[in-house]
Amino acid sequence: MSALSESTKPVSNQHELIIEAGKSEKHYYLDLWRYRELLGFLAWRDIMVRYKQAALGIAWAVIQPVIQVALLTFVFGKLAGMPDGGVPYPLIVICGTLAWQFFATAFTGAGQSLVNNTNLISKVYFPRLVVPMAALGVALVDFGITLALAFPIILWLGPGLGWQLALLPLFVLLGLLISLGTGLWIAALTVRFRDFKFITPFLVQIGVFITPVGFRTDILPKWQNLLALNPLAGLVDGVRWSLLGGHTQLYLPGLWLSLITTAILLFSGLWYFRRVERQFADII
């Protein structure tokens, strides 16, 4: 009898969603984990749309950095006459551009992700944080493509690789965190104030000139502390240091300041995003 009763017990692996007043914060991050497959699907969808529906496809991920490297090398290396510190100047710009394009793509994608998914957000419940997080996938793919193409040039012209290359993934993670922190702010603000949709490209345009993409910070010791206020300075210096085998200086006080600023941006962006998230479906 006991065997029969055990065999007739219903078995279910599905979880129950219990809606409780004032308890959304308690379940939010658990729901974020439960919707991880949606995050992967949205990231894959964005990648496929970028490369299947674009006329230039993967070539567009290469054309932009190539043009930017040529312009910045001419402006900073030729016109401004910035010293190269014994490293071929194009390599300085290539490494800086890799880091900058990675951030710019991730920041723009995360910032525009909510308004680009209006129909999904207004009709279906899921943790809205999934959307800007998924937008970072395109930036990772772009970075991987451009790094693979730039690597032979770095090996050919560069002073040589070193153990520093093993730390490159940590700086990629730093770039993702900076992009997510700033992207959360822009994404939430864009939903409420559509002007930010036009402000974002402007921020990217001026950001390349206040970030050490086209020059080395270690040849400007008097300006290093000021430049370090921009968290992207630590990212650019770290990527450049990793790819050039330590032949450029990694300014540790500036890196620590970048980490602190990144943490502030990430937690404040997450706080503001969660604060206004419940209003997205009504105003988007």
Confidence label for 95 from pLDDT (cuts 50, 70 and 90): very high
Neighbours of 270 (CB within 10 A): 15
What the block records as the tokens of 252 is 């540790």
Q: What percentage of the chain has pLDDT greater than the value 90?
A: 32
Backbone phi and psi for residue 229, each to the nearest 5 degrees, phi listed first: -65, -25
User: At 24, is the pLDDT very low, low, confident or very high (cuts 50, 70, 90)?
Assistant: low
Q: What is the pLDDT of residues 170-206, one digit of tens each?
A: 999 999 999 999 999 999 998 888 878 888 888 888 8
pLDDT band at 35 (very low <50, low <70, confident <90, very high): confident
> Which has more confidence, 35 or 262?
262
Q: What is the pLDDT of residue 3?
A: 41
Say whether pLDDT at 25 is over 80: no
**Backbone dihedral region of 86: left (phi > 0), alpha (psi from -120 to 50 degrees) or beta?**
left
- Tell me how far CA of residue 23 lies from CA of 26, 31, 109, 125, in angstroms: 5, 12, 31, 16
pTM as predicted: 0.84
Quick: pLDDT tens for 130-168: 999 999 998 999 899 889 989 998 989 878 888 999 999
Confidence grade of residue 6 (pLDDT, cut at 50, 70, 90): very low
CA 22 to mean position of chain CA atoms = 32
